[in-house]
Amino acid sequence: MQLMATALRVQFAEVLHPWLEMREIVRIGGDSPSAELQGAPLVIDLKEKKQRLLLEFRGFTFVQERARSIDESVDIVLGMTIKLSNASTPPPILNTRYEALFIEPYPMPFHELVIAMKEHYLRRGEIVDSATDIGLVFDQHEADLVKHTNIGPMSSEQLRSDYLFFPRDDVPEQFIFSRLGYEQKKQITFDINYLKDFLKLAVVWQTRQAKVVLNLLKKDGG
């Protein structure tokens, strides 16, 4: 089981303070008291560290690739979040989501991986039998938590083009992927200790869930 990338997304209940000041300038300059800022996220790439930071008006996303372990990735994420909160006091959190993308290579062609996934999860039928690719999504709701599991076979080219920001050559030709999101939809005052506890719980579930998903074909004889 190999960790390919993690991403922390934090959505705030209010506009971040620097954008609030800019919004006020726009409202005054444009003589429009209800004007709102619009635009694409500000993207900052740290290529040597394989990190990407997306700053939005009401939140941010921090992506980490090439971490040696998910625990190391959490430490990096926390370090960046602390620096951001020191630079500008964050407003209350509305939504927190942590994603981890794992892969597990199998010594079989892509089409055989598709067949194996069909046989494990789906009933035979016209739609299932004719499908040449497959992706499955399972959501588990627990009060204000959502545990999101997205699984399926994948090729190295699809991973590089659709999921990774920084190119890498050490990817197997075909594999099963497991993209796991741990999300809490809860308004709470920003607190780094809350974030630490949230990430700890996310990692425990993601690690366990990834092992279950990525070992399924081994149990089936794949």
What are the tokens at 31? 């003589």
| Per-residue pLDDT at 214 | 77
Those residues whose C-beta lies under 8 Å from the C-beta of residue 20, and which sit 6 or more positions away, are 14
Contact 4, 65 (CB under 8 A): yes
The DSSP symbol for 108 reads S
> Over the stretch 179-202, which tens digit does the pLDDT of each residue have?
999 999 999 999 999 999 999 999
In whole angstroms, what is the distance from residue 89 CA to residue 19 CA?
12
> Over the stretch 145-187, which tens digit does the pLDDT of each residue have?
999 999 989 888 888 888 899 988 888 888 889 999 999 999 9
| Residue where the block lists tokens 């890498």 | 168
